[in-house]
Amino acid sequence: MSVVALGTTQPLRVRTVAIPDPGDLLAHLPEHAPHAWIRHGEGIIAWGEAARVNVPPGPDRFAWARDWLADILGDAHIHDEVRQPGTGPLAFGSFTFDPDTPGSVLVIPRAILARRDGHAWYTTIGDPTPAAVTPLRHPGTIRYSDAALTAPQWQRAVAHAVTRINAGHLEKVVLARDLNATAEHPIDVRLLLHRLHQRYPECYTFSCAGLVGATPELLIRHIGDSVHSLVLAGTISRGSSPSDDDARTAALLTSDKDRHEHACAVQSVRDALAPLCKELSPPRDPELLTLPNVVHFATPITGRLADGASALDVIAALHPTAAVGGTPTTTALTLIRELEGMDRDRYAGPVGWIDARGDGEWGIALRCGHIDGTHARLFAGCGIMADSDPAAELAEAQAKLRPMRYALEG
């Protein structure tokens, strides 16, 4: 375990004040340690670190993280003029996909700027240094190289997974692949955030401890006793023309493979939420979520939680969903470790924020990359079913890599 608490061992002094509309939130981010959770121009940005912890791996890591936050934030001296979800102190978090893999992190920022539902606020912890906002830096030329598996090797992994599924070992498995990107100059996370948010406003553009992306999948929104999740599974890439788009969408709507994949993902979320909820929305037909690069089947699920559950308790019950793991979960995770040839790190893990009340918003870290200096490691994954075609799955993975490639290249 590694904990960094900056400045003092005394209780945190937290002040939240209402402010005029700050305009473009991302324009206020400094280059050092930027954190963000933005959709349609609303959300939260933050910088600096009042406290930071590397969450120990293991099956109880979400409970450990909840207790650590309770210890740190429970003693805080909080002056909150706004009293909305996300006001007062909060933590940004990002967890590894595999519970046994180290690397999960929680960060309590020193400064937080936010806008939501007609309210804007600024939160400070202690006496943070005013942010020095510098011009965005371009990374220059980007070179790509294979990471864990080449494209042909990954297709062979998909074919092997299809064989295992047809043999009755499991129903679905999600296989991911990674891609290395090397920039001419150090990569400015803020530039990636600006590009992703402009191109994919429907997604949740995020940054947490070097993990940056724009995820379409909301794992959990927890406000009071209400809970909301958006399940995505079943995907087709966008066409090259309006008529091609229409044909591809029609193919998705009539695809038994994609509908079944989506149904598995929805059922896994409902089964996980049911023990925590006193009310849960009835099943419904999926909608279509159309993004610039792909079209997804999407189903919103809402419920009312029993007393006392925090956002981290809900995440512990949900992760990993069938949308990023497979069905049944244990068998799928074993096959992922066997076939992917890599550690997913924080890709496909929960990412988001949680406040001192236990409210928060968390997505699944998709359409993302880990940024370290001039290097970026990009990720994409596909749900493999009994009738999956390896070439088609590779094309889908390449489509899912486009957001981060666009963010790097412009």
Residue in this structure with the two tokens 């029993």, named with its chain if needed = 306
pLDDT above 70: residue 309: yes
C-beta neighbour count of 171 within 10 angstroms: 17
List the one residue out of 52, 94, 99 whose CA is nearest residue 352: 94
| Residues 14, 123: Cα–Cα separation, whole Å | 7
* pLDDT of residue 152 exceeding 50: yes
Average pLDDT of the residues in 71-78: 93
H helix runs in 208-325, sequence order: 242-253, 256-273, 311-318
Rounded percentage of the chain residues whose pLDDT exceeds 70? 98
Q: How far apart are CA 79 and CA 89, in angstroms?
A: 10
Q: List, for residues 203-245, the tens digit of each pLDDT value.
A: 999 999 999 999 999 999 999 999 999 999 999 989 889 999 8
Question: Residue 259 is encoded by which pair of tokens?
Answer: 């509908």
Q: Is 278 a catalytic residue?
A: no
The tokens describing 241, both together, are 């023309």
Tell me what pLDDT residue 307 has. 78
Point out the catalytic residue in the list 31, 49, 217, 393.
217
Residue 43: beta bridge partners?
A: 38, 115
* pLDDT at 52 > cutoff 80: yes
- Residues 249, 295: contact at Cβ < 8 Å? yes
Q: Residue 3: which pLDDT band, with cuts at 50, 70 and 90?
A: very low
What's the whole-model pTM score? 0.94
Check whether 9 has a pLDDT greater than 70. no
Q: Over 90: is that where the pLDDT of 130 sits?
A: no
pLDDT at 31 over 60: yes
The secondary structure of residue 346, as a DSSP letter, is T
Q: Quickly state the pLDDT bin for 282 (edges 50, 70, 90).
A: confident
5 pLDDT more than 60: no
Distance CA 59, CA 81 (A): 38
* Mean of pLDDT values over 308-312: 88
Q: Per-residue pLDDT averaged across 119-144, rounded? A: 92
Side chain identity at residue 390, one-letter code = P
Catalytic annotation, pick one of 31, 49, 172, 257: 172
**pLDDT, position 132:** 87
For the chain, list the domains and their CATH numbers: 2-130+142-409 (3.60.120.10)
Average pLDDT score over the chain:
94
- Backbone φ, ψ for residue 33 (5° rounding): 50, 55
- For the question of residue 400 being annotated catalytic, the response is no
Confidence tier at 1 by pLDDT (50, 70, 90): very low
**pLDDT for residue 396 is more than 90:** yes
Distance CA 383, CA 175 (A): 7
Q: Are strands 142-146 and 42-47 parallel, antiparallel or unpaired?
A: unpaired
Q: Which helix (H) or strand (E) holds 230?
A: strand 226-237
- At 128 the pLDDT is 74
